[in-house]
Chains A and B, each alone.
Chain A
């Protein structure tokens, strides 16, 4: 076996240009796949963080039936806005933070025009520990709401634009209590928010919880709790633990359930990437098959000589397979190393997405897991074996007399 290996090594080295070319094909294939996956994972985790950390929370808790009719923002399905209830959520393992919100539908007006709005009353004392990036969406020139604020609001930039109102201006918000009482309040605009989600820009006003409660006469009540978790990977088990602890009157949804759009985007990206990877794999495979076939063709006399000297047909097969493995392994390892370094380098630099006007910048940082890199190498090597199989078999089947005569 050792002799076979040294023969294979020498054979690979003998036609340096062809081996290098084949190795480079594998090298680039692995590097591209590692980087594409890294970028995709980086992009997805950026989107997820934007959703989970800035707005939705990892999990949300509602009164049963709320999410099915969430568009109507049913105020009747409410939960207590008190510390004991919040502590029940915080007592669950992996829960890092929880904050109550009151989502209301109403009309906003500036004295000249009126439009529908969705008000999100947030518990400012706890919102930042649940959605740490929620302040990030506030455009420069405005400021995040503070716990002491009352009768203040952050307006979606397009919503504010429709009224021609800016930071410091005021709008009248009107909403109806569950019992049918109409109420209206003047709120001061403390900031404008900008989001990648058009609905957020056009319809949403963020209010202090007490202001939202006052508007709809629901002191001490919220319609949802946003929950932050320590580890997103344990999301489902945390959701189950919450369900078990809170009983049948309450429903728990993960960000995947609540943001079906984002979930589908990620699914489509992964499918696309899978297709592209497969295509790349086939191209690399074809390259190896070609090299090995050429090698067998060129070395027919040599193979005939080996057979004539009494080398077993099985050893010929093993020799050619080994050559394939060596090229695949070398190219794959180098490609994985280069790919990993590139991903790390780009991640360290970061690709900035500066959504127009927002103070903080969203940065895309590609990321790959060691497991994915190892898997890419394994696929490259087994691909090489697969691709060498047919040429190697053909070489081992040669008739020594015919081969020597050629």
Chain B
């Protein structure tokens, strides 16, 4: 009878060995990739199918799931351009016209192979139902995500995270038809703020046209920022 308390003591250890729940992985992903408010400086490089590539350096400020601002820094041709996005509406400010033009809402993030949902509206715990499956990649957990409502960007995602700290390693994104649309690789985990680590580099490959890919490199990121509501108004463009 003395064995029982000892066994009870061992139970949590056994659970730890089996790994976290799928829900915990989704929540960890949201916390790492989609903090509610942040300001960052990125470098986005898109490689086209003809081999040409373009690199933009931009600063962006995000608040909530659907508000963000972009200020382009480089190259010189787009310097001074700004973007404001509020929900489904998007405006581009062109400095030489000194005017903001409303643009059709394209799902592509800044014309690259990222989807807006990959960068801005990260809410996997709310949008997907996760199931843990055996991973075929060493030192990772693998979760299969299935959309819980029709407004998610993807129908299904396969997500790989590191065993030791649940940082994302790779992801595969599927359409409703079952087709593989994109795949991502996350690397260069860095500490950007106290207690906040995340991959600094994400390579997103367009699986429909494998020669196309986009790389997002975070130069800096700060969670401790002020993002007052007036920053997310049309009148603030160009200031």
| Complex CA–CA separation, A107 to B154 (angstroms) | 16
**Interface window among A173-181, A199-207, A301-309:** A173-181
CA separation between A174 and B208, bound complex, in Å?
9
User: Could you tell me the distance between the alpha carbons of A172 and B176 in the complex, rounded to whole angstroms?
Assistant: 14
Q: How far is the CA of A109 from the CA of B117 in the complex (A)?
A: 22
Query: Is B224 an interface residue, CB under 8 A from the partner?
Result: no
Instruction: Say if the beta carbon of A113 comes within 8 Å of chain B.
Output: yes
When the two chains form the complex, which single residue of A71, A172, A179 contacts B208, counting CB atoms closer than 8 Å? A172
Interface segment among B67-75, B78-86, B209-217: the answer is B209-217
Instruction: Choose among B49, B117, B150 the residue that contacts A177 (Cβ–Cβ < 8 A).
Output: B150
Judge if A143 is at the interface, Cβ distance under 8 Å: no
Interface size for chain B: under 10, 10 to 19, 20 to 34, or 35 or more residues? 20 to 34
- Cα–Cα, bound, A71→B104 (Å): 9
Contact status A114-B209, CB under 8 Å = yes
Contact B150 A217 (CB under 8 A): yes
Q: Which residues of B contact A71 (CB under 8 A)?
A: 104
B152 near A180 with CB under 8 A, answer yes
Residues of B within 8 A of A183 (CB): 155, 175-177
Could you tell me which residues of chain B, from 143 to 177, have a CB within 8 Å of some CB in chain A? 147, 150-155, 173, 175-177
Are the CB atoms of A181 and B155 closer together than 8 Å?
yes
Residues of B within 8 A of A217 (CB): 150, 176
Give the docked Cα–Cα distance between A183 and B151 (Å): 12
- The minimal Cβ–Cβ distance linking A109 to chain B, given in whole angstroms, is 5
Contact residues of A: prevailing secondary structure: mixed
Task: Tell whether B115 is near chain A: CB-to-CB under 8 Å.
Answer: yes
Instruction: Please name all residues of chain A whose beta carbon is closer than 8 Å to the beta carbon of B49 when the two chains form the complex.
Output: 112-114
Q: Is B181 an interface residue (CB 8 A)?
A: yes
Asked if A111 is at the interface (CB within 8 A of a chain B CB), the reply is yes
User: Which of these, B154, B206, B211, contacts A181 with CB under 8 Å?
Assistant: B154
- Is B179 part of the contact surface with A, judged by Cβ < 8 Å? yes
Would you give the shortest CB distance from B155 to chain A, in whole angstroms? 7
Per-residue interface assignment for chain A, residues 180 to 201, with 1 indicating a CB less than 8 Å from any chain B CB and 0 otherwise: 1111111000000000000000
In the complex, A119→B117 CA distance in Å?
24
Docked complex Cα distance between A72 and B107 (Å): 13
- Between-chain CB contacts (< 8 Å), 12 pairs: A71-B104, A107-B208, A177-B151, A180-B107, A181-B153, A181-B176, A182-B153, A182-B154, A184-B177, A184-B181, A185-B177, A185-B179
With contacts A181-B152, A181-B154, A183-B175 known, what are 12 further pairs, Cβ within 8 A?
A112-B49, A112-B209, A112-B211, A113-B211, A114-B206, A114-B208, A174-B181, A180-B152, A181-B147, A181-B176, A183-B155, A185-B179
Q: Which residues of A contact B (CB under 8 A)?
A: 69, 71-72, 107, 109-114, 172, 174, 176-177, 179-186, 214, 217
